[in-house]
């Protein structure tokens, strides 16, 4: 079974590319020209989104390096500790909606400090897998389609991430505590 899965995974993308090319040629589609047009559209989208992306990345860095993240953790820690939520997982829960690379660095630090099989390591893994870099995604997608007012969308994505963190805690506490 493992050999078959390995062989399939090795050949899946080349076979898919060959299949798409064959299908396009059989329908007399100018494949290369379509590819170039798609690449041009991708480039135009990237250029249109770039200012929104740079603004978001700067805001993330300011939030992290100004000490605002640490202040927010200090404010939330008494409340979350009473609920049994470990304060060591709080930085990940707060950074994940903002930054994928920042949250990955926090996850690596949690693994190094507590181990991946600890309660905190499992909670951090579950939070990482059940939440999204919502502000980044919202910035990119809203910028790509030109949406200017994202007030309600922002509230919904942040509430969704909060719900994912809460459910992650209860699932990990129920199955691994």
- pLDDT (average), residues 44-56: 79
Q: How far apart are CA 99 and CA 102, in angstroms?
A: 5
- pLDDT (average), residues 30-35: 90
- pLDDT at position 1 is 59
Q: How far apart are CA 54 and CA 49, in angstroms?
A: 9
- pLDDT at position 63 is 79
102: number of CA atoms within 13 Å, CB side?
21
Q: How far apart are CA 108 and CA 119, in angstroms?
A: 15
Percent with pLDDT over 70 in the chain? 99
CB atoms within 10 A of CB 72: 14
Answer yes or no: is pLDDT of 49 > 80: no
- pLDDT at position 101 is 80
Q: Which of 155, 121, 145 is closest to 52 using CA atoms? A: 145
Q: What is the 3-state secondary structure of 96-142?
A: CCCCHHHHHHHHHHHHHHHCCCCHHHHHHHHHHHHCCCHHHHHHHHH
């Amino acid at each position: 079974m493992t050999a078959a899965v390995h062989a399939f995974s090795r050949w899946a993308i080349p076979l898919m590319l060959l299949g798409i090319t064959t299908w396009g040629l059989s329908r007399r589609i100018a494949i290369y020209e379509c590819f170039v047009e798609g690449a041009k559209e991708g480039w135009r989208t990237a250029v249109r989104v770039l200012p929104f992306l740079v603004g978001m990345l700067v805001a993330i860095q300011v939030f992290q390096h100004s000490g605002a993240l640490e202040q927010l953790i200090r404010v939330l820690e008494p409340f979350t500790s009473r609920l049994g939520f470990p304060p060591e997982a709080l930085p990940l829960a707060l950074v994940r909606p903002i930054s994928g690379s920042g949250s990955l660095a926090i996850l690596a630090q949690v693994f190094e400090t507590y181990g991946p099989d600890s309660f905190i390591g499992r909670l951090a893994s579950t939070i990482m897998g059940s939440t999204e870099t919502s502000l980044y995604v919202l910035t990119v997608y809203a910028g790509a389609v030109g949406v200017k007012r994202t007030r309600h969308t922002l509230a919904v994505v942040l509430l969704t991430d909060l719900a994912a963190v809460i459910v992650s805690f209860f699932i990990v506490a129920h199955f691994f505590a």
